[in-house]
């Protein structure tokens, strides 16, 4: 039987690139070690933050194998195995299971915008091919697919999925899904802007940018809400965290100018952890003066900024 899905905060590990654009596998272990030392409960490589869409399939397999080797069984690993075809997703799922991943994170097929019925068949076929559970990555803006609560509950009852990463700016989507499945389906806050409300509704964890940049601080918010039910402490911690969250998603939510969420993430990791390089173009490194602002926000959360902003 597969292990139960994790609870807590999952850091979406990034993919380091060398100056010429190749994947820098040597930087993965220091990155993973830092995340674990800072307090994450799980690792989620090759999601959006892992820039999976910029990688060839052999690169994706190499990155996952490097993360699993670096982790050495310390934390659960939820491997991103999404593909725009069902055959490709099944192949990546089989590789993840064989390599030792505990679960998979699978965004719906993107670009072609299949119907909900077609997407449900996609997840059923993945589940038929492997024994490790799937966390469905619900991300409407980047897939044009919106599986409703009844679709998700049906997939869960069939055993096709074991969890949902809900990257939806409406907190009630988390609440409704938890209520519809009686809390049996593992539901994770998948975007930082609704993490506080989602955890208060009973979400089982948090997988997004903040736990990937500052997993230790994110863990304190999770603990205050989910483990101690200390709302006053949680509010105080969230108030300190909110400026970083708002900076990260400024351009994403406005669909306009400002810092790109992933430029912020890689810049933050470079400032407080082992270097992970720059994003893969067309995403560019974080501009000034955002880097100086980011350095101050990280210091306010108690992190040592050990590289010049």
Which of 61, 123, 165, 217 does the annotation list as catalytic? Answer: 165
Please give the Cα distance from 239 to 91 (Å, whole number): 43
Angle at 104 between CA 98 and CA 110, to 5 degrees: 120
Are 95 and 61 in contact by the 8 Å Cβ rule? The answer is: yes
Cβ contact 41:221 at 8 Å: no
Estimate the crossing angle of helix 57-71 against helix 86-99, to 10 degrees. 30
Torsion sign across C-alpha atoms 112, 114, 120, 124: negative
Question: d(Cα 192, Cα 268) in Å, to the nearest integer?
Answer: 16
137 tagged catalytic: yes
Residue of 29, 61, 123, 137 marked active site = 137
**Token pair 């994403």 is at which residue?**
252
Instruction: Tell me the backbone φ, ψ of residue 42, rounded to 5 degrees.
Output: -160, 165
Start-to-end Cα distance in the chain: 48
How far apart are alpha carbons 35 and 268 in whole angstroms? 13
Cβ neighbours of residue 73 closer than 8 Å, sequence gap 6 or more: none
Active site residues: 137, 165
């Amino acid at each position: 039987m597969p292990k139960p899905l994790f609870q807590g905060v999952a850091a979406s590990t990034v993919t380091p690139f060398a100056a010429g654009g190749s994947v820098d596998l040597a930087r993965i272990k220091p990155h993973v070690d830092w995340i674990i030392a800072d307090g994450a409960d799980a690792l989620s490589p090759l999601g959006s933050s892992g820039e999976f869409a910029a990688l060839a399939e052999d690169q994706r397999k190499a990155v996952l194998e490097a993360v699993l080797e670096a982790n050495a069984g310390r934390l659960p690993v939820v491997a991103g195995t999404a593909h725009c075809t069902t055959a490709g997703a099944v192949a990546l799922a089989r590789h993840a299971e064989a390599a030792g991943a505990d679960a998979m994170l699978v965004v719906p097929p993107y670009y072609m915008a299949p119907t909900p019925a077609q997407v449900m068949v996609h997840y059923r076929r993945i589940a038929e091919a492997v024994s490790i559970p799937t966390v469905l990555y619900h991300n409407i803006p980047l897939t044009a697919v919106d599986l409703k609560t009844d679709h998700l509950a049906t997939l869960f009852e069939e055993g096709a999925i074991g969890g949902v990463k809900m990257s939806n700016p409406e907190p009630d989507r988390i609440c409704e899904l938890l209520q519809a499945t009686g809390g049996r389906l593992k539901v994770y806050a998948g975007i930082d802007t609704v993490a506080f409300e989602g955890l208060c509704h009973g979400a089982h964890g948090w997988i997004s940018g903040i736990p990937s940049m500052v997993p230790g601080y994110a863990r304190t918010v999770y603990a205050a809400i989910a483990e101690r039910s200390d709302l006053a402490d949680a509010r105080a911690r969230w108030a300190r965290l909110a400026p970083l969250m708002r900076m990260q998603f400024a351009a994403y939510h406005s669909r306009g100018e400002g810092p790109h969420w992933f430029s912020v993430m890689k810049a933050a990791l470079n400032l407080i952890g082992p270097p992970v390089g720059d994003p893969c173009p067309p995403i560019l490194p974080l501009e000034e003066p955002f880097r100086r602002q980011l350095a101050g926000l990280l210091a306010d959360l108690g992190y040592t900024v050990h590289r010049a902003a």
